[in-house]
Amino acid sequence: MFGKGFKLFKLFGFEVRIDASWLILAILIILSLSSGYFPLHYKDLGTRSYIIMGVVGAVGLFASIIIHEMCHSLVGRRYGVPMHGITLFMFGGVAQMDQESKTPKAEFVMAIAGPIASFILAGAFYLLYLGLNPMAPKTISGVIRYLAWINIILAIFNLLPAFPLDGGRILRSALWAMKDNLRWATRIASSIGAGFGIVLILLGILALLGGSLVGGLWWCLLGMFLRGISHASYQQLLVRDTLAGESVQKLIRANPVTVTSDLSIADLVEHYIYEYHYKMFPVVDDGELRGAVSTRQVKDVPRDEWDRTTVGEVAEKPSDSNSIALDTEASQALEQIKKTGNSRLLVVDDGAIEGIVTLRDMMDFLALKLDIEDNDSQARHLRQKLR
């Protein structure tokens, strides 16, 4: 749902990444704190002090969000949910996972872990503020007090019953436990989340009409984001659920067009890529699969060397990035396509090429299955996107 972003570091085995949009948020926070919040609450400290307080406050918020999301990830891993890491973006942070929680209990515990961590942080910062306030400089005590306050706000906001916020996930866990139907629970929770998005947009419009340009735009953006991500989260589950249990064997293109290792890049481009309009070809010599060559490798070879460079010199060997087993579930194949960015994957059985599965074929199959088996509004919307 979000881009990979830039890797910052690893913590407890999880990669912490930052999306470029976070830089926009960081600048806004520093400006807001240094020119608004801290000057309002702490008079006559000087511009330099306010800027330092703004930067430290933004870093503290950054760390608080990481701890909040890290608690989600640690609990998720404890309950067997594959967690890849944390990505910070303009509207906060997200713990990235490959699949949904396995039980309503796991969903509840994983969701509540983040707000609990934020409340604990708020209490710890407030106790530290009380202990240091009589003797510490205002530049220090002021930042600590801000971090106590912002963690309370972070916890309360995330507890709103608006999926996919933590409160929405808690609501979904209750609905899931009630009917033992994850899709139904997700549809209801995401609809409520989209409703909260509309409320935030209306609040933003009222703020704009009242003369608050920055605040109004921020509420509108947050509302549009929440509405969009609520629908996207349900559609993501819909895709996983619809493809669950389906093997790629149903989707493969058998007898794919192959090339040999001794073929030149020039001939590959002229007689295969331009003729068949495929981005990737299996490399097969005397019936033995050697790997795959794609337009990615071709672009890495200078144009004046195409005649002298062979496919075998640039082809990638069969690996998780370009190949899947014949008995792989279609949902797992889709996840692999999303991770690698390869729209075509080799389907291999005992080292032999059985065919190719493409993203386009998977989307066509998904649209057909949704057309036959589902008719709710989000399924119809997803079908329109796939066509």
Q: Is residue 369 part of a domain?
A: no
45: left (phi over 0), alpha (psi -120 to 50) or beta: alpha
What pLDDT score does 211 carry?
79
DSSP one-letter code for 79 = T
Dihedrals phi, psi of 162, to nearest 5 degrees: -120, 100
Clarify whether residues 123 and 202 are in a common domain.
Answer: no
Clarify whether residues 228 and 281 are in a common domain.
Answer: no
Q: Is residue 140 part of a domain?
A: yes
Q: Is residue 168 part of a domain?
A: no
Per-residue pLDDT tens, the chain, 387 aa: give them.
444 566 777 777 777 777 777 777 788 888 888 888 888 888 888 888 889 999 999 889 988 988 888 888 888 888 887 777 777 766 666 777 766 778 899 899 989 999 999 999 999 999 998 888 778 788 888 899 999 999 999 899 889 888 888 899 999 999 999 998 888 898 899 889 889 889 989 998 998 888 777 678 878 888 888 888 888 888 888 888 777 778 888 888 888 889 999 999 999 999 999 999 888 899 998 888 888 898 888 999 999 999 999 999 998 888 888 888 888 888 888 888 877 777 888 888 887 888 888 888 888 888 787 777 665 555 555 555 555
Q: Is residue 96 part of a domain?
A: yes
Q: Quick one: 304 exposed, middle or buried, by C-beta within 10 A (0-12, 13-18, 19+)?
A: exposed
Residue 154's closest CA among 226, 279, 61?
61
Residue 280's closest CA among 241, 309, 242, 321?
321
List Cβ<8 Å contacts ≥24 apart for 299-303.
301/265
Q: Using an 8 Å Cβ cutoff, are 159 and 122 in contact?
A: no
* Distance, CA of 130 to CA of 135 (rounded, Å): 10
Q: Is residue 133 part of a domain?
A: yes
What pLDDT score does 91 carry?
60
Residues 6 or more apart in contact with residue 159 via CB below 8 angstroms: 115, 165, 166, 167, 170
Clarify whether residues 10 and 155 are in a common domain.
Answer: yes
Residue 136, CA atoms < 13 Å, CB-side half-sphere: 14
Residues 6 or more apart in contact with residue 89 via CB below 8 angstroms: 2, 5, 18, 19, 21, 22
Clarify whether residues 10 and 146 are in a common domain.
Answer: yes
Angle between helices 213-243 and 377-386 (to 10 degrees): 90
Clarify whether residues 127 and 186 are in a common domain.
Answer: no
* Distance, CA of 67 to CA of 59 (rounded, Å): 12
Clarify whether residues 65 and 205 are in a common domain.
Answer: no
Q: Is residue 378 part of a domain?
A: no
Q: Tokens representing 4?
A: 């990979």
What pLDDT score does 270 carry?
92
Clarify whether residues 227 and 143 are in a common domain.
Answer: no
**Pairing between strand 14-18 and 6-11?**
antiparallel
Clarify whether residues 23 and 46 are in a common domain.
Answer: yes
Dihedrals phi, psi of 295, to nearest 5 degrees: -60, -20
Clarify whether residues 195 and 110 are in a common domain.
Answer: no
Q: Using an 8 Å Cβ cutoff, are 201 and 227 in contact?
A: yes
Dihedrals phi, psi of 256, to nearest 5 degrees: -70, 160
Q: Is residue 52 part of a domain?
A: yes
* Distance, CA of 87 to CA of 70 (rounded, Å): 10
Identify the domain containing residue 144 by its residue range: 6-159
What pLDDT score does 379 carry?
56
What pLDDT score does 271 carry?
92
Whichever domain contains 263, its CATH number is 3.10.580.10
Integer angstrom CA distances of residue 42 from 34, 38, 46: 11, 6, 10
Q: What pTM did the predictor assign?
A: 0.75
Domain-terminating residue out of 238, 261, 283: 238
Clarify whether residues 151 and 231 are in a common domain.
Answer: no
Clarify whether residues 139 and 183 are in a common domain.
Answer: no
Clarify whether residues 190 and 332 are in a common domain.
Answer: no
Q: Is residue 166 part of a domain?
A: no
Domain-terminating residue out of 108, 125, 159: 159
Query: What's the total number of domains in the chain?
Result: 3
3-class DSSP state of 260:
coil
**Could you tell me which residues are beta bridge partners of residue 283?**
259, 291
